[in-house]
A and B are shown apart, each in its own frame.
Chain A
Amino acid sequence: MPPASDICDLTLAALAEKLGQREISSVEATEAALARTRAIEPKVHAFLHLDETATEAARASDARRAKGEARSPLDGVPIGLKDIFVTEGLPTTAGSRILEGFVPPYDGTAVARLRARGAVITGKLAMDEFAMGSSNENTPFTPPRNPWDLGRVPGGSSGGSAAAVAAREVFGALGTDTGGSIRQPAALCGIVGLKPTYGRVSRYGVVAFASSLDQVGPMARTTEDCALLLQAIAGHDPLDSTSADLPVADYSAAVGRGAGGLTLGVPDEYFGAGLDPEVESGVRAALARLEAAGARVKRVSLPHARYAVAAYYIVATAEASSNLARYDGVKYGRRAPGARSLHEMYLRTRAEGFGPEVKRRIMLGTYVLSAGYYDAYYLKAQRVRTLIRRDFEQAFSEVDAIVGPTSPTPAFRFGEKLADPLQMYLADIFTIACNLAGLPGLSVPCAFTRDGLPVGVQFIGKPWGEPVLFSLGAALDRDLSLHSLRPPL
C-alpha cells in the first residue's frame, strides 16, 4: 500500500483502477482523504461539514469488492458534495444562515445515484450563499481559499468543491452551475468542471436557484474523472420534469477518442477587451495544441454575446425571487424568534437569514417581475435569450465545439470585486451564455500564469454534446499533464 499522501495524489480514475485491482482498499483511500482534509482545512476551508462516519461506507465498499460485487468503477471512491445537495442525515445549508440546522430527510437523485454506485461521501463543501456569487465571499461562514494562492478566491459559486478537489481532499465533487458556478471555480482552481446540457442530470433534491438555468455537474482533476462521475449521475428522472428521457452516451469511450477531425469555432467576441493577456495566450496555446492534434480551427461569430450578462441577471434573479419565497421560517430552517404575527415572522426571518447578495437578487428579481415592469425587463430578457440561442445554433451548423476562455481573469484577490456587484457579475461573462442556451460547457486547465495561477479553457458543445467535450478535454489533459502539478500547500 502506498503512503496516505500518495493515495490523495491519485486521480479518481487511477484510484478506481487500484480499487478494482484491490491494490488499495476504500478504507485506506477514505482515511487518507479524511486525514488530508483535517490537515489542510485550517488553510483551505473548503468543507462546511466533514462526515467522520464515511469510513463505514468505505468498509461496506471493501466488503462488496471482496465478494466481487463492486457496483461501479466509483465503488469506494471518496467524493465531496457542494452543500446545495440535499443529503439524508447530513446538514444542508446551501451556504445560508436561513437553512442553519436543516438536516434533510431524503437524498436527492444525483446523491442517491452516487451512493447506489458505491461512492463514499466525505462531506459537504462551501459555496456562495444559494449559489449566488463568483468568489465564495457571499457567505456567512469562513470563505474557502484558492489552494494555489491562499490570498485569492477559489471562484464561485462551487468554490469549496473546486478548492477541495484542487487541494486533493476529495477525488471528485459535484457542483451546480447556473451561470458558470462549476466552470469558473474549476478554471480558477486548476481543475476540470462540466456543466452538462440542461436536462442531462436530475435536479431533484438540489436547492433551487434559477430553475430554467440550474444544472448539476462533476468537478475533478481530469476530464476522464469527470466522465466517470457524469456516467454515474446522468439520465432520466421522473422526479425532475425537466430531466430528459434520452439515452446516456458512453462517456469513457469519448475520453480516448482524441481531437482529430473535430472542427473548433473560435468566436471573436470571446477575445476582446477586458480579457487578461495571460489568459488569452493560454487559451490560444491550447487551441494550437488541439490543431496540432488534428482539429480544425475556424472563426465564428456570436453577435449577441455581449448581452448575455444583462439578460441573465434579469432571468436568474426573477426565478430566484420566486424560488426563495419558500424560505419563510415555517417548515424548516431558521425562524426569527419572538414575532407577534405571521407576517412579522416572515419579514424578520428573511431579514435575519439572508445575506446581502441574496437580498439584492431577490429585490432585483421581484422588481423585474412586478406589475408594469414585467414586459420591459423579464419578457425582454427572454426574447434576448432566444437571440443568444440562435447565435449558437448558427455557429454549431459549422463547428463541433466552441472554444474560448472560461474566465476573463485568473483568480482575483479577496475583496477585489466585493464592493461592486456589477464587476463581480462580469466575472461570468463567458460562462453565462451556455446556461441561457441550455448547452454543455467544459472547463479544462490549459496554462499557469507567471504568478502560478491556473488558467482554464472552455469548450462549449451542442445539446447532448458532452462526448465531444470529453474528447477535447482529455486530449488536452494527455498533452499537458497539468493535473500532476500540486498546489503549494
Chain B
Amino acid sequence: MIDRAEVRRIAALAHLALSDEEETRLSGELSKILEYVEQLRELPTSDVAPTTAVALSGAFREDEVRPSLAPERALRNAPSVVGSAVAVPKILD
C-alpha cells in the first residue's frame, strides 16, 4: 500500500512536483500495480542469479581523445546561455 506520504517521499526522490489530485491518484494506481507484481514472491529464486543485461560482454575500449560537438552546436538547444556556458537559476542564496 502506497499512501500519500509515501507518494510524496518518492516524488521528492524523483524530482517531480505533484498536485494534490496527482498524489491521490498515484497512491491508488501504484498500490494496484505493486499488488499485481507481488505475484513474483511466490517464485523461489534464492539460488537464481539475477540477469542485469543480456549483452554479449562488456565492451572496453581505450580512453582516447576524439572530436566531439563544437560548443556552439552543443549549446544551441540550451534554454539559457551565458557566454559558452548554460545558465540556470542560483543554487545558493
Instruction: Give chain A's interface residues, CB within 8 Å of chain B.
Output: 101-106, 198-199, 212, 238, 241-246, 304, 307, 309-311, 313-314, 321, 325, 328-335, 339-342, 344-348, 350-351, 354, 356, 359-360, 362-364, 366-367, 370, 377, 379-387, 389, 421-422, 425, 436-438
Contact = CB atoms under 8 A, between A and B. Distances in A.
A102 B78 CA distance: 9
Nearest to A240: B59
A105 B10 contact: no
A241 B54 CA distance: 12
B5 interface: no
Nearest to B50: A382
13 contacts: A105-B73, A106-B69, A310-B37, A325-B15, A329-B79, A330-B88, A335-B79, A342-B91, A350-B15, A359-B22, A380-B40, A383-B50, A386-B48
B80 to A, nearest CB: 7
A335 B87 CA distance: 12
The 10 closest A-B pairs by CB, nearest first: A438-B54, A382-B50, A332-B77, A335-B79, A383-B45, A347-B17, A351-B17, A241-B59, A385-B51, A310-B37
Interface string B3-43: 00011001101111110001000100110111011011101
B33 A421 contact: yes
B16 A351 contact: yes
B27 to A, nearest CB: 10
Contact of A198 (B49, B55, B89): B55
Nearest to A307: B40
Given A366-B10, A386-B50, A105 B77 contact: yes
Interface string B53-93: 11110110100000001000110111110000010111100
A134 to B, nearest CB: 15
Contacts of B51: 382-383, 385-386, 389, 436
B48 A383 contact: yes
Contacts of B73: 105
Contacts of B36: 309-310, 313, 422
Contacts of B76: 103, 105
Q: Is the interface of A mostly helix, strand, loop or mixed?
A: helix
A362 B30 contact: no
Contact of B59 (A242, A333, A438): A242
Contact of B91 (A341, A363, A380): A341
B53 to A, nearest CB: 5
B1 to A, nearest CB: 12
A341 B89 CA distance: 5
A359 B76 CA distance: 27
Contacts of A381: 37, 40
Contacts of A379: 50
A304 B48 CA distance: 14
Interface of B: 2, 6-7, 10-11, 13-18, 22, 26, 29-30, 32-34, 36-37, 39-41, 43, 45, 48-56, 58-59, 61, 69, 73-74, 76-80, 86, 88-91
Contacts of B14: 321, 350, 362-363, 366
Contacts of B55: 198-199, 241-242, 244
A241 B52 CA distance: 15
Contact of A370 (B13, B40, B54): B13
A383 B49 contact: yes
A47 B30 CA distance: 32
A422 B77 CA distance: 36
A328 B15 contact: yes
B45 A342 contact: no
Contacts of A386: 45, 48-51
Given A332-B77, A348-B17, A341 B90 contact: yes
A422 B79 contact: no
Contacts of B15: 325, 328, 346-347, 350
A363 B7 contact: yes
Contacts of A103: 76-77
Given A383-B48, A386-B48, 9 more contacts: A102-B77, A335-B80, A346-B15, A350-B16, A359-B16, A363-B16, A379-B50, A381-B40, A385-B51
Contacts of A335: 79-80
Contacts of A364: 30, 33-34
Contact of B88 (A313, A345, A362): A345
Interface-centre pick from B13, B40, B41, B45 (highest chain A CB count, 10 A): B40
B7 to A, nearest CB: 7
Contacts of B29: 360, 421
